[in-house]
Structure 1
Amino acid sequence: MAVSERRGLGRWSPAESGQRLLLLLLLGGCSGRIHRLVLTGEKRADIQLNSFGFYANGSLEVDLRLLRLDLQETDEKAPLVGFSLSRVRSGGIRSYSTRDYHDCPLQRNSSSFLVLFLIDTKGLQVQVRKYGEQKKLFISPGLLPEETSKPALPKPEPTVTPKADSGELVSQVREPGPSPGVHGDPSLGHLERPADEGTLSLQDPNGKDKELVLGLSHLNNSYNFSFHVVIGSRAEEGQYNLNFHNCYNSMPGRERPFDITVMIREKNPDGFLSAAEIPLFKLYLIMSACFLAAGVFWVSVLCRNTYNVFKIHWLMAALAFTKSISLLFHSINYYFINSQGHPIEGLAVVHYITHLLKGALLFITIALIGSGWAFIKYILSDKEKKVFGVVIPLQVLANVAYIVIESREEGASDYGLWKEILFLVDLICCGAILFPVVWSIRHLQDASDTDGKVAVNLAKLKLFRHYYVMVICYVYFTRIIAILLRVAVPFQWQWLYQLLVEGSTLAFFVLTGYKFQPAGDNPYLQLPQEDEEDVQMEQVMTDSGFREGLSKVSKTASRREFL
C-alpha cells in the first residue's frame, strides 16, 4: 500500500471533508521529480521506482531511509535484496520485463543491468557491481550537497592499502558533509555502523571492474543508506530505469511483506525535467496559443454567420478554449517542475480540472456532431442516448485514472493498475464515439434509396463519411502511431510523441470546424427538397442571400423529417 506524506491537514470538519477529499485525490503523492515513495506491507518481488532521461552531468540521488525485511536465520548468506540501474532505449521498455518470474536478477550476471546494489544485511554493507564499459558513470556514497547547482564529478584521492585476504587494492574514500547512510532521529535507538563504510575497491591488475562497497546502517530493525550517480560523459547519456528487487518474494505463495521508504531525486544540468520533457514547456505553450487563436477565429466566424449558428457551434468554441487553458496550465506545471522539482499545487488543481473538462467536452462534441444533434435534429435516439450514457461515465473514469497516475509514484502498488484502466477506458471511448457516425451514415444511405431526395442526402452522406475517416485518423494517430513513435525514437526525442498528439488534435479541430462551419452552402445544413429542381433553387437563394429568412423553416422541416 502506497502512502503519501502530507502535512498541515489537521482535522476535517464536515463542511470541508468533500473539498479535502478532492484535494487529496488531485494532489496525493504528487512531488514532481523529487520523489518520495512509502510502501508498507509490500509483497512484490520487483518494483520499478522510476525512469528518467539523463544528459551528461546529470545526477541521480537515492536515499533509502527505511527498509524493514522479514528475514529468518535460515536465509542464505547471498544478498537477495537490492537495487538495479539499467539503461534502455526508451522509457516504455522495462529492463526486466522478459525475464523469468522465478529468476532473481541480483544473482546473475546480465548485460541488461549497468549497476547492481546488493544489500547485505548480515555484513551491514551494500556491494555495488558494475557491468559493461561504463567508465564515466560515477557512483559515490551519500547525497549531493544541496547548495550545488550542478553535480560535481567526484575526485577522490585514495590511499592504497592491500587487503588482508586477497591481492586486491583497497582505498579509503572520505566524502564531505554528513556521513552516508545515517538518517532519521538518533533518539530512536542505537545505531549500528560498519567499520568499512565508504570503501572503494579499485581495478585489479587483471582489468576487472572496480567494486564499491557502501555502508549500511541498522536502526530499530530497519536499514538505510544513500548514494548518488553522476553521468560523466555523453557516452553514458540515455534513459535509465531504477528498480528495487526483493528476491525472497520471487516464489508465489511464499511472499514476505516488507516496508520501504525511499527518496529519489533526478536532475539534468538545466533542471529537474527528464531529457524528453525539457521541450514540453515551450511545446505546450505554443500549442496553447494555437488553440486560442483557433478558438478566437471560430468565434469570429460564428459572429459573422449568426443565422446559421447552432448550439453545437458554441460547444465547439468552448472546447477550443478549454483545450487552450488546459495546455497553458500544463506548460506552467512543467516550468515549475523544471525549476523547483515539483509543481505548484494550486496550478496543478486547475490543470487537472481543465483537463477533465477538455476530455469530457471532446468526446461529447464528437458524438453530438456524429449524431447530427442541433444541426438537423433536436433529440437523440435511444441508441444514441445509450452511447452518451456509456461515454460520459467512462470519460470521468479515464480522467480520474489520469489524475491518479500523475499524482502517484511509478513504484506505487496501484500505479500499473490505473495505467491499464486509463488505456482500456480510452480505447472504449474512442470506439463508442464512432457508433453515432455509423448510424447516421446508414440512415442517410437508406433515405437516399427510399425518399427520392438523392442530391441532398448524398451530399450529407459524403460529409459524414469524411467525418468518419477524420475520427478514425485522429484516434489512429493519437493512440497508436504516437505510442509506436514513443517507443521507436531515442530517449531525447520522445517529446515528439506529445507533438504528434497535440498537432493531430489541432488538425482535427480545424478540419471539423471547416466541414461543419455555419455557411449557407454547407450540405449538412441544407433543407431536404422533393426533387433536384428545388435543390438547385435553394442553392440560388442561398448564394443570393435570400436564405437568411428561412432559417426557422429549416429547423422545423428538419424536426419533422427526423421525428
Structure 2
Amino acid sequence: MPISTLFSLLLLAFSLIPPPVTAEIKTLQVKNDNRPMILFEKFGFTSKGSAAVTISSVSVTSGLNQPDPSRIGFFLLSEGSLNQVLMELEFNHIPCVVDSRFISLLFTFQDLAPPPHSSINKSYPVGYPGEYFLLFANCNPGSRVTMDVRMELYNSDDGKHRDYLSAGESLLPSLYFVFSMIYLCFFGFWIVECKKNKLSLHRIHVLMGVLLVVKAFNLICASEEKHYIKVTGTPHGWDVLFYTFQFFRAVLLFTVIILIGTGWSFLKPFLQEKEKKLLMIVIPLQVLANVASAVIGENGPFIKSWVTWNQVFLLVDLICCCAILFPIVWSIRSLRETSKTDGKAARNLAKLTLFKQFYVLVIGYLYFTRIIVFSLTTISSYKFEWVSNAAEEVASLVFYMMMFYMFRPTDRNDYFLVNEDEEKEAERYLQAHEFEL
C-alpha cells in the first residue's frame, strides 16, 4: 500500500473515531515496529502550546540496506496542512513526509546522540493555534524501530501553569462535576418519591435508584480524572475508578431498560426464558465493550490494533443498542394481543400506550447519543470539543428524567387506572384500531 494512502487512511480513522484520552504525559514502548507511519496523539493547541518528545533506548534494524536516519523522525501536522502533505506524497513531490514544508519537524534520528546513549529530548513551541497530529515516520522500507517514547503536550496561556488537556476539553472537569451534582440531587428526589409512595414501590425502583448513584459517581470520577490530567498530565489512578463506574453504569442502564421493557416488577415478578437469555447476551457484550473502551483509552492510537479495537467497540455498542429494543417490542405485542381478550381493555390500552412512548423515548435517546453526538464531534471546531460531551450529558439527563417519571412509584399510574367509562371507551377504541409498531 502506498504511504500516501496509508497516511490518509490512518488520519481519517483517527478523525472519525476519536479515542478517549487518559493522559497527556505518556510513556510508551515501541518494539520492533516496521510501520512507515505511527500516529501517537491528536491535540488542540492554543497560541502558547508546546510539544515535548523524549526518546531513549533507540535501535533500528534492517535486513537490507543501512537505514537512513534522516528519513526517520517525529513531526507535528496541523489539520489545515493535511491536504497539502497528502498532495505532495501522492504526486511524489517529496521522497519522505519529513521533507515536507507543511509539517513542523521535531527531530530526525540523525539528531540522536551516538550509541550507547541513543536518546534525544526535544521541545517544540507551537506558535499557531489549532489541532495537530503528533506522528512518527519511518521512510526506510523493511527497517524496524525499537524505542521508549515519552511525550508531553500542553498549553500554558499564562506562561506559568501548564494545561495538559486539549484546548477543547479544558472545561470538561467543571462540566462533569456539575452534572454529577445534578444526578445526586436527582437521587435525593427519587428517595423522597419512593418514601412517599411505599405501597407502590417495586424492586425496579430500587434498581433505578442504584443506577442514579452509579451514574453520579461515574461523572465524579470523570471530573476528577480530567482535573488531574489538566493539572498534572496524568489521571493519578482516577482512570481505574472511571472505567469501573462506567462499566457498572453501562450494565445497569441496559439492564434497567430491558427489565422495564419486559414489564418485570411492574407487570410480573419473573422473567421468561427468552428475556433471561437476552440479559445473558447483553451483559457480556457490555463487558466486552468496556474492555475495548479501556484498551483504546489506555493505549491510544499508536498500538497496531487500535482501529480493530475501535471497530469492536462500535460493533458491540450497536448490537447492545439493538438488543435492548426487543423486550419493549415483545411487551407491546403481548399487550396488544391481551387487550382484545382479557376484558381489561382500558388498563391494557394504557399500558400499551406507555410502552409505545417508552419505545420512542429509547429510540430517540440511542439515536441522539450515537448519531447526533458523533456528528457534533466530527464537525465541531477543536475549541468546542466539550460541546459534544455536554450534548450527550444533557440528552442522558433528559432520558433519565423522562424514564423515571414514566415509571415512578405512584398509585395513580397508567398501569392501574381503570374505571367503567374508560373501559367502555377503550373497548370501542380497540375494536376500531389495530396497534402496530
Quote the residue 2:432 is aligned against.
Answer: none
1:33 Cα deviation (Å)?
Answer: 1.2
Deviations 1:104-141 (A, max 9, x none): 9862699894224573x6xxx3xxxxxxxxxxxxxxxx
Aligned counterparts of 1:35 and 1:422: Cα–Cα separation in 2? 23
Partner of residue 480 from structure 1, selected from 362, 371, 378: 371
Q: Which has the higher helix share?
A: 2
Quote the residue 1:227 is aligned against.
Answer: 122
Does residue 263 (structure 1) correspond to residue 150 (structure 2)? The answer is yes
Deviations 1:392-423 (A, max 9, x none): 00111112222222222331233333222222
Q: Report the 3-state secondary structure (helix = DSSP H, G, I; strand = E; otherwise coil) of the residue aligned with 1:409.
A: helix
Partner of residue 403 from structure 1, selected from 294, 306, 309: 294
Q: Kindly name which structure, 1 or 2, has the bigger radius of gyration based on alpha carbons.
A: 1
Contact 2:57 2:119 (C-alpha < 8 Å) held by counterparts: yes
Does residue 65 (structure 1) correspond to residue 56 (structure 2)? The answer is yes
Aligned counterparts of 2:356 and 2:98: Cα–Cα separation in 1? 57
Q: Pairwise mapping of residues 344-363 of structure 1 onto structure 2 (< 5 A)?
A: 344-345=236-237, 347-363=238-254
Does residue 34 (structure 1) correspond to residue 25 (structure 2)? The answer is yes
Contact 1:88 1:95 (C-alpha < 8 Å) held by counterparts: no
Quote the residue 1:493 is aligned against.
Answer: 384
Matched residue type, 2:103: L
Change (3 A) 1:445 1:534: closer
Aligned counterparts of 1:43 and 1:489: Cα–Cα separation in 2? 34
Quote the residue 1:216 is aligned against.
Answer: 112
Does residue 107 (structure 1) correspond to residue 58 (structure 2)? The answer is no
Q: Pairwise mapping of residues 255-404 of structure 1 onto structure 2 (< 5 A)?
A: 255-269=142-156, 270-345=162-237, 347-404=238-295
Aligned counterparts of 2:89 and 2:353: Cα–Cα separation in 1? 53
1:369 Cα deviation (Å)?
Answer: 0.7
1:64 Cα deviation (Å)?
Answer: 2.2
Q: Report the 3-state secondary structure (helix = DSSP H, G, I; strand = E; otherwise coil) of the residue aligned with 1:276.
A: helix
Aligned counterparts of 1:52 and 1:94: Cα–Cα separation in 2? 18
Contact 1:82 1:106 (C-alpha < 8 Å) held by counterparts: no
After TM superposition, the score normalised by the length of structure 2 is 0.83
Aligned counterparts of 1:384 and 1:337: Cα–Cα separation in 2? 42
Quote the residue 2:134 is aligned against.
Answer: 242
Aligned counterparts of 2:87 and 2:262: Cα–Cα separation in 1? 45
Identity across matched positions, percent: 34
Contact 2:77 2:132 (C-alpha < 8 Å) held by counterparts: yes
Matched residue type, 2:191: V
Unaligned runs of 5+ in 1: 1-29, 126-214, 250-254, 537-563
After TM superposition, the score normalised by the length of structure 1 is 0.65
1:391 Cα deviation (Å)?
Answer: 0.3
Q: Pairwise mapping of residues 420-499 of structure 1 onto structure 2 (< 5 A)?
A: 420-499=311-390
Does residue 514 (structure 1) correspond to residue 405 (structure 2)? The answer is yes
Quote the residue 2:416 is aligned against.
Answer: 526
1:237 Cα deviation (Å)?
Answer: 0.7
Matched residue type, 2:153: E
Quote the residue 2:42 is aligned against.
Answer: 51
Aligned counterparts of 1:462 and 1:98: Cα–Cα separation in 2? 57
Matched residue type, 1:264: M
Q: Pairwise mapping of residues 140-219 of structure 1 onto structure 2 (< 5 A)?
A: 215-219=111-115
Aligned counterparts of 1:492 and 1:71: Cα–Cα separation in 2? 42
Aligned counterparts of 2:85 and 2:279: Cα–Cα separation in 1? 41
Contact 1:89 1:490 (C-alpha < 8 Å) held by counterparts: no
Contact 2:94 2:100 (C-alpha < 8 Å) held by counterparts: no
Aligned length: 399
